[in-house]
Amino acid sequence: MAAKARKAVLETGDWLTASQFARMAGFNDARSHTNKWRKDGQIFTIRYRGVDYFPRYALDPSISDQPAKGLASVLSVFHGRKDDWGTAYWFASINSFLGGKRPQDLLIDQPDRVVAAAEDEVAGVVHG
């Protein structure tokens, strides 16, 4: 079941190899920039069949295809709570906190809402 879910996430077309990702961001040296972004918590990757894939939806065209500003905040919220695949599933899933939209579709234009949805996700159900 997990293998099917992973394949379905990758088949959405929302993922790029490191070289494709760096090319979109305008870098010749893909490894140094993408490794720095990952180390600094600005981006995440999913690994499938020995290849790292980067989320296309995380590149913000308004800032020269650099990682979206809200992504680092979301990754910080999920740190230690979701692995990279869990994060990928979350971004690709319909989210009731976001009015039935997927977080990946709002990340660029409404990052504060996406961060709030991530915070809601980790808070879980609160009973009064």
Average pLDDT over residues 51-79: 91
Lowest mean pLDDT, pick from 14-18, 25-29, 86-90: 25-29
Query: How far apart, in whole angstroms, are the C-alpha atoms of residue 93 and residue 125?
Result: 18
Burial class of residue 85, CB neighbours in 10 A (0-12, 13-18, 19+): middle
pLDDT band at 91 (very low <50, low <70, confident <90, very high): very high
pLDDT of residue 95: 95
pLDDT digits 0-9 by tens, 44-54: 999 988 999 99
| Domain segments of the chain as ranges | 2-123
- The pLDDT, as a whole number, for residue 30 is 65
pTM above 0.95, yes or no: no
Positions of E strands within the chain: 15-17, 46-48, 51-55, 59-60, 66-67
Mean pLDDT of the chain: 88
pLDDT of residue 112: 97
pLDDT the model gives residue 70: 94
Q: Does 90 have pLDDT greater than 60?
A: yes
